[in-house]
Amino acid sequence: MKLISCIIRPYRLDEVRDALAAAGVSGITVTEVRGFGRQKGHTEMYRGAEYVVDFLPKLKVDVVVTDEQLDGALEAIQQSARTGNVGDGKIFVSPVEQVVRIRTGELDADAL
């Protein structure tokens, strides 16, 4: 099993959610985060004062998938989150050792 953590543009969330659902992923967790990559920040101006905003609002989407689902899920996220401009985000994949569904005690793939 793999954990896919991806950073996406906030307004792409609905598309990513739909694409993941279509790829057979059953649940996702979304967190509001701030950060920057190559997009860097932007400058805001209030009266005479300039403020450099380093950290841009992004969403972090966490999903855990079986090894078989991984490629489909990655493809789904890429397709749905991409705009072609800097700031589209990144996807991180890491191994997951164990999953437990709290309600039933099911383990691993059954618990996803």
Partner 1 sequence: MLLVSPVSHAAEAAPTVDKGDVAWMLTSTLLVLLMTVPGLALFYGGLVRSKNVLSILMQVMTVFSMIVVLWVIYGYTLAFNGGNAFIGNLDKLFLKGVTKDSLAATFTTGVALPEYVFVVFQSTFAGITGALIVGAFAERMRFRAVLVFCALWFTFAYLPIAHMVWYGPDGFMFAKGALDFAGGTVVHINAGIAGLVGAYFVGPRLGLGRESMKPHNVTFTMVGAAILWVGWFGFNAGSNLESNAGAALAFINTLVATAAAVLVWLLIEAVHKGKPSMVGGASGAVAGLVAITPACGTVGPMGSIAIGAAASLACVWGVTGLKKLLRADDALDVFGVHGVGGIVGALLTGVFSAPMLGGTGYGSGNSTMLQQVGVQALGVGVTLVWSGVVSVIAYLVVKLIFGLRVSAEAEREGLDITSHGESAYEG
Interface positions with partner 1 (CB under 8 A): 44-49, 51, 53
User: How far is CA 41 from its chain centroid?
Assistant: 20
By the 8 A CB rule, do 19 and 79 touch? yes
Paired residues of 107 in beta bridges: 100
Angle between helices 13-22 and 67-81 (to 10 degrees): 150
Residue 62: CB minimum distance to partner 1, A:
21
CA torsion sign for 24, 14, 95, 74 is positive
Residue 52 vs 102, nearer CB to partner 1? 52
Residue 48 vs 84, nearer CB to partner 1? 48
Q: Count the residues in the chain.
A: 112
Residue 3 vs 56, nearer CB to partner 1? 56
Residue 49: CB minimum distance to partner 1, A:
7
Residue 42 vs 101, nearer CB to partner 1? 42
Residue 41: CB minimum distance to partner 1, A:
11
d(CA 60, CA 23): 19
Residue 46: CB minimum distance to partner 1, A:
5
